[in-house]
Amino acid sequence: MGSVISEAALPWTALDSVAPKVCSFEECGKDSVPLVGGKCASLGELINASVRVPPGFALTTRGYAQFMREAGIQAEVAGLLDGLDHEDMDKLEEASHAIREMIESRPLPIELEDLIAEAYRKLSVRCYLPAVPVAVRSSATAEDLPGASFAGQQDTYLWIRGVDDVIHHVRRCISSLYTGRAIAYRMKMGFPHEQVAISVGIQKMANAYTAGVMFTVHPATGDRSVIVIDSNFGFGESVVSGEVTPDNFVVNKITLDIIERTISTKEICHTVDLKTQKSIALPVPAERQTIQSITDDEIGELAWMAKKIEKHYGRPMDIEWAIDKHLPAGGNIFILQARPETIWSNRQKTTGAASSTSAMDYIVSSLLAGKRLS
């Protein structure tokens, strides 16, 4: 637990010096988790499966290892982690604060700054936007994996503009590998700290007027014959964080008909402050709070995309999405993330309840058994 972090300790040592320190999402796929973490590997896999995903690039785990090595804080980090109890949150938060402060106070090596700056410049040119707004997302090697629940342990920062701000938030994402919650969870799950590396994804922001999450299995019942969509105005942060009760739609996976519709009172949304160019939480005007936040046509297209993603991965998925207000209908729905659904998938593995290999197999077998499908 007290080992020093080094490139030799990381799981991608077979890649050695040929592994890039910065790479585009297009260069990533499902086998890239050791290099770019679960989140960025998933984004690359989606892009290469022709799913509409905002473009971006990643600082890889090799870049992370170089930063930690040249920052000269590995021994101090290991010392602060040594002997901690995963149930003693006061001590964990104390260690977390010290480690994060150390990381965020160290500059990135000049080589990494140059690589990030050049990749960000190319992304801005590609998007026809000077200083393109981006989401800066942590992508750890132990997250978004089937059977693991590490997703959400690290940080995401929205609507970041300019190379200096991007680099600053890259350091903040790296430091979030050491939140008290993340440290405790790794200890509880038996993941040695030195064997969990982090990548950072820098992804063009979708300027969302509506965003949310969807599941290709019912999160409350485990029903694989439906797709469940949650939505709210603005960025998806309010839905993911649980700040609002979102609108909820249950869609038949075969016909794509909406079979349940719940419109909630949505009091908060996240959007960009045009003066400061920062993401902020704003109250939803009273007259809009009970309006459906997504159209039926958009629900249908989202459900179709969810089916395509589930088919590609061959398993139930948990998906984040956004609808860009600056683009025309038909090309404005973007997938921001797709990860394996773990709760029902793990429960079915444990009980042996799911011998079917696909959602269609499940639906057909249920019909033959006389079960009622939603």
Give pLDDT tens digits for 315-326.
999 999 999 988
CB 35 within 8 A of CB 61: yes
Lowest mean pLDDT: which of 12-26, 254-268, 342-356? 342-356
pLDDT at 329: 86
Lowest mean pLDDT: which of 156-160, 173-177, 270-274, 347-351? 347-351
Lowest mean pLDDT: which of 39-53, 134-148, 166-180, 184-198? 134-148
238 pLDDT exceeds 90? yes
- Name beta bridge partners: 269: 282
Pick the residue with more confidence: 50 or 190?
Answer: 50
Lowest mean pLDDT: which of 10-24, 94-108, 165-179? 10-24
CB 138 within 8 A of CB 91: no
355 pLDDT exceeds 70? no
pLDDT at 265: 98
pLDDT-derived band at 357 (thresholds 50, 70, 90) equals very low
What value does the mean pLDDT take over residues 189-216?
Answer: 92
Residue ranges with strand state E in the chain: 22-24, 56-59, 134-140, 156-160, 198-204, 208-215, 226-233, 247-252, 258-262, 268-273, 278-283, 317-324, 333-340
Residues 6 or more apart in contact with residue 198 via CB below 8 angstroms: 37, 61, 64, 138, 139, 140, 141, 154, 173, 174, 177
Going from the C-alpha of 97 to that of each of 91, 100, 175, 180, the distances in angstroms are: 10, 5, 9, 8
Could you read off the pLDDT of 46-102 as tens digits, one per residue?
999 999 999 999 999 999 999 999 999 989 999 999 999 989 999 999 999 999 999
What value does the mean pLDDT take over residues 224-244?
Answer: 95
Which percentage of the chain shows pLDDT scores above 70? 84
Residues 6 or more apart in contact with residue 243 via CB below 8 angstroms: 237, 268, 281
Count how many Cα atoms sit within 13 Å of the Cα of residue 67 in the half-sphere of its side chain: 30
Backbone angles phi, psi at 148, to 5 degrees: -120, 155
360 pLDDT exceeds 60? no
Count how many Cα atoms sit within 13 Å of the Cα of residue 340 in the half-sphere of its side chain: 20
Which percentage of the chain shows pLDDT scores above 90? 72
pLDDT at 330: 85
Name the token pair of 15. Answer: 């890649």
Could you read off the pLDDT of 97-148 as tens digits, one per residue?
999 999 999 999 999 999 999 999 999 999 999 999 999 999 988 654 444 4
1 pLDDT exceeds 70? no
Could you read off the pLDDT of 262-310 as tens digits, one per residue?
999 999 999 999 889 899 999 999 999 999 999 999 999 999 999 999 9
CA distance linking residue 81 with residue 95, whole number of Å: 7
Question: CA nearest 247: which of 211, 300, 204?
Answer: 211
What value does the mean pLDDT take over residues 247-257?
Answer: 97
pLDDT at 12: 41
pLDDT at 153: 55
Q: Which domains does the chain have, with CATH numbers?
A: 7-204 (3.30.1490.20), 208-368 (3.30.470.20)
CB 320 within 8 A of CB 240: yes
Could you read off the pLDDT of 324-334 as tens digits, one per residue?
988 888 899 99
